Amino acid sequence: MGRPGTDRDPSLYLELDRKQWRDLRKSMPMVLNEDELEQLTGLGEQIDLTEVAEVYLPLSRLIHLQVAARQRLFAATSTFLGERQTNRQVPFVIGIAGSVAVGKSTTARVLAALLARWESHPKVDLVTTDGFLLPTAELQRRGIMHRKGFPESYDRRALLRFVTEVKSGAREVTAPVYSHITYDIVPDVRHYIRQPDILILEGLNVLQTGPTLTVSDLFDFSVYVDAKTDDIEKWYISRFLQMRTTAFADPNSHFHLYSSLSDDQAHVAARDIWTSINRPNLIENILPTRPRATLVLRKDTDHSINRVRLRKI
């Protein structure tokens, strides 16, 4: 019997293995082909059409059902207020949380592609929270560059305002854009969001709570991408080594100096960043938010998802 109130508590969560989850796809057709999936997969991510069929199609069916139910809930409030019934869709907001390098962005992109195939919600926008990081100059001024990705390194008020405006149906809302190359906010560039049917917000700390309203209070559904900490460390280091010949090779890359490191030197550098920044953030801030997720996807060492935990209440 899991501890009450945790994501091991069977009165809170339903634990399903891959086969049980796979069967919940029912008759949903496969709507992605190999090439499309290839485009969606992040560096170092191993995902194939079997995983999409057995993990992501059932998930997109569950969310599709919840989008319809949520619209009926909003209609009920309109009826109560005596408002004229309109077909206006209130954007359905999904949060995707998890550690640096766990594969959040791949999960977000695959889910966005599948959800956009439904006629009732074809407009799916994906926003990453790194655009709401404080600019490097501000992080340096506050002396918190070593806390990048921690809750205090974000403009949380701007993030909450952004999601509130999208959810309230504003015609056009913009978000700042982050560059992993320059490791900073891109000046004068904005990401435009125009009344999506579904907004997916992906980032380390999207399930954070606090004494005041936080973005997670505006979520209609949330996913936590989970894996053993030791596995994520291996994935982070492996991706870092791969990036020497891709992202870091760009002379504008913040990590350009690492592109010429040997395997051993790059391994030491990656492990240092993991141990000093990303692992403490995972342990202190991200892992504690896992019980708040609607759904937990548990990855094995080979990135495959073999266990799913679904909130029952």
Ligand X SMILES: CC(C)(COP(=O)(O)O)[C@@H](O)C(=O)NCCC(=O)O
Which chain residues interact with ligand ADP by CB under 6 A?
42-43, 98, 100-105, 180, 243, 247, 255
Q: Provide the minimum distance between the beta carbon of 105 and ligand X in the complex, in angstroms, as a whole number.
A: 8
CA angle (218, 186, 247) in 5-degree steps: 105
CB of 272 to ligand X, least distance (A): 10
By beta-carbon proximity to ligand X, the closer residue of 64 and 244 is: 244
**Residue 53 labelled as part of a binding site:** no
Is 234 marked within a binding site?
no
Q: According to the annotation, is 98 in a ligand binding site?
A: yes
| Residue 103 near ligand X by CB under 6 A | no
Which partner from the list ligand ADP, ligand X, none does 103 bind, CB cut-off 5 to 8 Å by kind? Answer: ligand ADP
Binding partner of residue 273 among ligand ADP, ligand X, none, CB cut-off 5 to 8 Å per kind: ligand X
128 part of the interface to ligand X, by CB under 6 A: yes
**Which of 13-21, 123-131, 156-164, 299-307 is the region at the interface with ligand X (rule: CB under 6 A)?**
123-131
Partner touching 278 among ligand ADP, ligand X, none, CB below 5 to 8 Å by kind: ligand X
What residue 42 binds from ligand ADP, ligand X, none (CB within 5 to 8 A, per partner kind)? ligand ADP
Q: What residue ranges bind ligand X (CB under 6 A)?
A: 100, 128-130, 148-149, 203-204, 273, 277-278
